[in-house]
Structure 1
């Protein structure tokens, strides 16, 4: 199954990080399940990702609305953004591997999202609200590591912004048919064995659902 894996960790080559280890476990399962398929992996902190800035995407979008020609620098940025969008739309299985940074997604992942949540490309506006355009069995699997535990129905549960944001953007806004989440949580408070006890079980279940026909 053709799959795009997006690593959103700044230190993506360091396999001591729980999110990177969880990603490694996913890759191992993928290779065992689909030995003849190639898994496409991109590391966001190894890419030049356009940002919403006055001399970046903001200027480009304003000019495109008014049918004004882009300058040479803007043309390069527009091409980079279009390439990210094209690649994203070409995969019906998307995996995001990320840690939490200050209770939210990493800054580079937010920049990436700003290049794929594009009106008339991945969603459209209507009089009754926005409608997702990615409805042809697109699925998202989130692999997330966090120092705290967010499933104990305590004050941290209300701070579970990252997965809620991603779920709503992919399913509610862009129209993905499925969102699954596997956590390695409590990495700063629990033993590694305890962290992986539930994560391994959840990964097995999520992996089956993710590729279920």
Structure 2
């Protein structure tokens, strides 16, 4: 493990439970791999614009044919793609907002889905290009959703990461955090135990 990309998408900053779990995992990684390089990206603090027509047009225009304006529109996405391309492991702190992923994370995913850069289309279907990486997802929820049809996050995140080539994806869940203080403590302790035992 040489480089870890840590992605936080909670709007709660340091009060975020998903961030606290990801911080625990990062500390464990640093202990096990002292020379690891950790890149941190806070999508709530440094939010990305929602995808629009002008940006999408810049994405699909060959670099050598882009206008000056299109080069500016594509530059941030290019940097994000390079950042995740350079990472060996992705640590994703994932709160649940209204049954889905935070809109900040959706914007980030939209910036990563770049034909010819993170995936390509073939006669047999799309093929992800960011292979050989592992993703660990710290999923926190106020209620209990894992294994139900209301857990839209797990499949979506796995599908998206797989689409760009990251198929080794492990989820660690802390659920029922809003049910009661006792349940919150129990769920966070359980997630912490998994973090302590996870193979890194």
TM-score by length of 2: 0.88
Is it true that 1:149 corresponds to 2:159 in the alignment?
no
Q: In the alignment, which residue of structure 2 is the partner of 1:138?
A: 133
Q: In the alignment, which residue of structure 2 is the partner of 1:70?
A: 67
The structural deviation recorded for 1:71 is 4.0
CA displacement 1:181-200 (0-9 Å, x = unmatched): 01111101142321123212
Structure 2 residue ranges without an equivalent (≥5):
none
Which of 160, 166, 177 is equivalent to 1:176? Answer: 166
The structural deviation recorded for 1:78 is 1.0
* Distance in 1 separating the partners of 2:45 and 2:4: 19
Runs of 4+, deviation exceeding 6 Å: none
* Distance in 1 separating the partners of 2:105 and 2:33: 27
Aligned pairs for 1:1-213 (under 5 A) are: 1=1, 2-12=3-13, 14=14, 16-55=15-54, 57-61=55-59, 64=61, 69-72=66-69, 74-135=70-131, 137-151=132-146, 153=147, 157-171=148-162, 173-190=163-180, 191=182, 192-205=184-197, 207-208=198-199, 211=200
CA displacement 1:156-194 (0-9 Å, x = unmatched): x101111211111112x1222410001111101142321
| Cα gap change, 1:75 to 1:175, in 2 (>3 Å) | closer
* Distance in 1 separating the partners of 2:66 and 2:166: 34
The structural deviation recorded for 1:21 is 1.5
CA displacement 1:121-160 (0-9 Å, x = unmatched): 121111121112222x211111111101123x5xxx1011
The structural deviation recorded for 1:68 is 5.1
How many positions carry a matched residue from both structures? 197
* Distance in 2 separating the partners of 1:165 and 1:203: 23
